[in-house]
Chain A
Amino acid sequence: MTTLLCYSRNRSTSVEALDDTTLVSTCRLQDTRMDAVVQLRIRLPELEITAAEGRFFRPRAGACSEIDTALQKMIGIRIGAGLKKIIRGLTAETSTCRALPTMLEESCHAVILAFTKDTLAAVPKETKASIDYFKAMVKKNIRLYDRCAAFAPGSPLVEGMDPP
């Protein structure tokens, strides 16, 4: 029996290093209703957004056709604590485009994951050694404790640790 999709979505977010002090993070969305791209330029080491551009190719009209003002609000923002709240608050001032805050969040989140990947490159391959590695990571940064199921009480990754 043929089962056709009634809706499909692809979202691709990438981070590239233009040079030692500049990252470009791009979020591209293509789905049945929308085709859009948002690109942020980020300065290191401050993680400050220095440029923000984007466009909705589809739909061509409506709330997402005018997003430049909302994008310019992102300039000067640092990727860090409370970023989701800041993005939602600033974009809500000048745009009713529902998809834009998510694209900005995904672009910023990808930058964080890019550095996370660099840190995780040092994790040992062997299971016991990797568990010890993550335990040391939790001791160094107690924010990881109970952050998700892997670091919840009862997990070997937090064995012997008291809640913060």
Chain B
Amino acid sequence: MKFVGRDEIRLYAIDHYRIRDTLKTNVPMLKFQRNKIVGLFLKNDRFLTARGVLDDDIFGLEIEVDIDLETRVIQALKGRWHREETPECPRAIPFLQEAVGFRIDAPDFERRVNKSVGRRCCPHFANLLIECCDAANEAVAVIQETSGAPDHRPAPRPAEKDSQPAPANGPTSAGAAPAPAPAAAGRFTSDPSILKSGFRVDLHIHSSPASACSSVGVDDAIRAAKRAGLDAVCLTDHNFVWPEKDIEALCIKHDFLVLGGNEITTDQGDILVFGLSKDIRGIIQLPALRRLVEDNGGFMIAAHPFRGFLVFDARQIGLTVETAAARPLFCFVDAVETLNGKVTEAENSFAARVAGRLTLPMTGGSDAHAAAEVGKYATVFEKPIQNQQDLLAALKGGAYAPCRLRSRGASLQDR
């Protein structure tokens, strides 16, 4: 294995924490380092104890987990901070107990820890707990191998959700598809009167259980859409195709226009896809998705293309509109989502500037995962839409604009 970027490198394995590199000239400074140590020992015949320490440039924490050797269930868990990010981080400690009773070799263990401990306690405690329990699974395997004892435990229950992605569909060639001819950019993007007469559609919502991350059932989401004053709503669940008959049934049940879409994860990020009935599981390469969508006469929107991180965004690390507009992603989509309810105003504004630079049409959607979020943002179309075919034609026609419905009163996105 060669290490890139340096002419001459000597590696010294000194201790458990650090590999030191020596250059002929300068020693590069570390920007960041995280060290995790886990030690496991048999507390008694019944319990295995894992002690883990996480120490990095920002956080210092430790945990101790007692695991039943027979059932692999977490029996006890304690933790403490050494160094924390905020003065309120100690609030997290009691919520560590959320993981007591979890079976560490269950297929959905990591997902459950991230959802419970990771959200209600702290994602760094969740990270260390997962590390400790992964090491514990290995430790039990080693103990069984060395003792020759067979595993008599019942198999863990299948995961509640399918957490194992299937292989990607479509060819994996990374060859670039020809740039699609962009639909005409919105013709009345600065005409506020369109809000009164236009047809308002939330193009991006998630419902449970189709999207594991959503907490709103589809019926409640539709009711919320009606309360928000929308004219229609699109169900764009993650890698999920709503059957046409189910969509029709929802329209009849709620006397409201419900349309189907799909949020598909590609190697270049999430894409909202309309007009494709093929079920895509796993990660698909963007050019392959483009070919599929084109073959089916569909439409692709880059979803939240500049969603940043919790305490910084792409601009703070030097991303400019010019650099961002050069991303290959924008050669494969028909429009850009420039109002998304899950990103900051600055990130939405940046997306709008990039889309404007590329003269790509812009859309809005709430990206709702809860009822209260539905309709925060939407897309207002010039003409009414009555069905899926109308939606596709309208998207390709380009006569629409992203709009805010509930924040600061109804308004179009500033350019």
Contacts and interface: CB of A to CB of B under 8 A. Distances in A.
Given A8-B40, A152-B91, A141 B310 contact: yes
Given A45-B319, A54-B1, A147 B310 contact: yes
B72 interface: no
Q: Which of A9, A10, A127, A144 has the most CB of B within 10 A?
A: A9
B311 A110 contact: no
B142 interface: yes
Contacts of B87: 127, 130-131, 156
B36 A10 contact: yes
Dominant secondary structure at the A interface: mixed
B265 A149 contact: no
Nearest to A106: B34
B91 A155 contact: yes
Contacts of B282: 89, 92-93
B29 A53 contact: no
Contacts of A113: 32, 34, 56-58
A156 B87 CA distance: 9
B122 A149 contact: yes
Interface in A1-57: 3-18, 22-24, 26, 28, 30-33, 37, 39, 41, 44-47, 51, 53-55
B323 A46 contact: yes
Q: Which of B57, B282, B307, B346 has the most CB of A within 10 A?
A: B57
A115 B39 contact: no
B310 A9 contact: no
A interface, how many residues as a size bin?
A: 35 or more
A6 B33 contact: no
Contact of A88 (B31, B119, B165): B165
A105 to B, nearest CB: 10
A157 B270 CA distance: 31
Contact of B5 (A7, A41, A151): A41
A62 interface: no
A16 B57 contact: no
A26 B37 CA distance: 17
A118 B58 CA distance: 10
B12 interface: no
B312 A51 contact: no
Interface string B334-362: 00000001111010000000000000000
Nearest to B94: A149
A143 B327 contact: no
A30 B310 CA distance: 30
Contacts of B319: 45-46
Q: Which of A31, A55, A144 has the most CB of B within 10 A?
A: A31
A113 B56 CA distance: 9
Contacts of A141: 308, 310-311, 313, 344
A89 B164 CA distance: 8
Given A4-B41, A8-B38, A45-B318, A53 B4 contact: yes
Interface of A: 3-18, 22-24, 26, 28, 30-33, 37, 39, 41, 44-47, 51, 53-55, 73, 76-78, 80-82, 85-86, 88-90, 92-93, 102, 106, 110-120, 127, 130-131, 134, 137, 140-144, 146-152, 155-157, 163-164
20 contacts: A4-B41, A12-B19, A45-B320, A46-B323, A47-B317, A51-B4, A80-B308, A82-B269, A82-B270, A90-B267, A93-B282, A110-B34, A112-B309, A113-B56, A117-B32, A130-B87, A131-B88, A147-B119, A152-B120, A156-B88
